[in-house]
């Protein structure tokens, strides 16, 4: 099969009212909003909205040994992933630093993977290099495009009629085929645990993207841009690789530890994989040097920080800022990796803004690690 090119611009930018995302940003080539970004966020949170995410890079992996093979080279436990289910997964380097984050869905003999547009070619090249003798055939799957359907009314009868199904998947990561829009290669909807309680990804034939999007709009799902999706993702404290992470990020810092049932991307009870030693050492003996938190920014400041800017406390760098976005209820907010020792009452500065950590976003840090407890027992503590 001839591989399709990387998708750098969505066909939906041609729709009336679509405003393009800033060039050079992670969502370049997608609609940023349709004239009312805060109203689009409210629709995604309280009724129904459809978001174009069609620049995400899609891969397909057919082959009888696809799951057992992927299991050996990634961080998630997916060797026996049931048909019609999904998982989040990571590829780590030898030192346990995150190289790729992706979502995978196994459906009818094919594992579909989608990831960030700029990282997809490298992930595909890595997978092809790692096949060796396994019965797995990773290839470009960009004949499918990603939309996200958000909101408590996402499963309305009118929307279901467009999709050709009786109901949306009930459990997070569950997936069902979309018979009304499917190509021989696929077409499906999966439920996601984020950015909202009612979140569904649609992987639909790219050639039908505009027709499906407008049909969903006509069925009552409000068109919403990437701004809306990002605002809700930041509110949910869900990281985006390459934006909320840097070249030093390990899974514990970004809240990616846990099996599918914990909505994580790193299973702690699986066999050997690249980077596992770091994951196990941090889990059993240490603490991550940083953690991901939600920041509230001073909206009256003259300007905003930029992704990658230092976060300082008393003039000393204590973190790195990630996604910055205006939220329809919370105002200007951001995700940040900050040193674990920084408390919520610490006065912070991010670019031109004063900033404060949302105390509810700080992950629990009161567990006793098994390895540390064993060491303490040996020392008589």
The model carries a pTM of 0.93
Instruction: Give the mean pLDDT of the chain.
Output: 92
- pLDDT, one tens digit per residue, over 251-278 is 999 999 999 999 999 999 987 899 999 9
Confidence of residue 366 (pLDDT cuts 50, 70, 90): very low
Question: Phi and psi for 292 in degrees, rounded to 5?
Answer: -85, 130
Given a cut of 70, is residue 181 above it in pLDDT? no
Model confidence at 2, pLDDT cuts 50, 70, 90, reads very low
**Do 232 and 41 form a contact (C-beta atoms < 8 A)?**
yes
Taking the alpha carbons at both ends of the chain, their separation in whole angstroms is 63
The answer to whether the CB of 151 falls within 8 A of the CB of 217 is no
Cis ω on the peptide bond leading into residue 195 (within 30° of 0)? yes
Q: How far apart are CA 27 and CA 152, in angstroms?
A: 25
Please state, in angstroms and rounded to a whole number, the distance separating the CA atoms of residues 145 and 57. Answer: 8
Q: How far apart are CA 319 and CA 340, in angstroms?
A: 9
From the list 77, 94, 93, the residue with the least C-alpha distance to 85 is: 77
For 277-335, the pLDDT digits (tens) are 999 999 888 889 999 999 999 988 889 999 999 999 999 999 999 999 999 999 999 99
Positive or negative: CA dihedral 136, 140, 144, 147: positive
Q: What is the DSSP string of 222-280?
A: EEE-HHHHHHHHHHTT---TTTT--TT--GGGGT-BB-GGGT-SB-TTS---TTHHHHH
Q: What is the pLDDT of residue 286?
A: 85
């Amino acid at each position: 099969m001839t591989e399709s090119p990387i998708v750098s611009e969505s066909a939906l930018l041609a729709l009336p009212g679509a405003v393009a995302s800033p060039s050079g940003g992670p969502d370049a080539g997608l609609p940023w909003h349709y004239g009312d970004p805060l109203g689009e966020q409210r629709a995604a949170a309280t009724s129904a909205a459809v978001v174009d995410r069609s620049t995400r890079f899609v891969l397909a992996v057919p082959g009888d040994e696809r799951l057992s093979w992927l299991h050996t080279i990634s961080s998630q436990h997916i060797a026996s992933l049931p048909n019609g289910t999904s998982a989040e997964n990571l590829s780590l380097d030898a030192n346990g630093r995150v190289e790729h984050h992706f979502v995978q869905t196994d459906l009818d003999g094919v594992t579909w993977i989608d990831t960030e547009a700029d990282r997809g070619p490298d992930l595909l090249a890595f997978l092809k290099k790692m096949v060796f003798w396994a019965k797995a055939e990773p290839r470009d799957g960009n004949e499918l495009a990603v939309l996200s359907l958000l909101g408590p009314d996402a499963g309305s009868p009118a929307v279901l009629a467009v999709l050709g199904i009786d109901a949306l998947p009930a459990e997070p990561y569950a997936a069902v085929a979309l018979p009304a829009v499917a190509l021989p290669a696929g077409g499906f909807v999966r439920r996601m645990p984020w950015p909202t309680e009612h979140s569904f990804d649609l992987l639909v034939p790219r050639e039908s993207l505009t027709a499906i999007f407008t049909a969903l709009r006509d069925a009552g799902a409000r068109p919403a841009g990437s701004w809306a999706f990002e605002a809700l993702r930041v509110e949910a404290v869900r990281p985006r690789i390459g934006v909320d992470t840097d070249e030093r990020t390990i899974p514990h810092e970004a809240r990616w530890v846990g099996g599918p049932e914990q909505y994580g991307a790193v299973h702690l009870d699986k066999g050997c994989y690249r980077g596992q030693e770091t994951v196990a050492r941090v889990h059993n003996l240490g603490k991550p040097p940083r953690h991901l938190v939600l920041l509230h920014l001073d909206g009256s400041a003259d300007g905003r920080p930029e992704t990658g800017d230092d976060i300082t406390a008393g003039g000393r760098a204590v973190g790195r800022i990630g996604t910055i976005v205006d939220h329809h209820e919370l105002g200007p907010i951001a995700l940040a990796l900050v040193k674990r020792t920084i408390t919520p009452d610490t006065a912070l500065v991010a670019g031109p803004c004063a900033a404060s950590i949302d105390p509810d976003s700080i992950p629990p840090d009161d567990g006793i690690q098994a390895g540390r407890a064993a060491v303490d027992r040996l020392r008589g503590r």
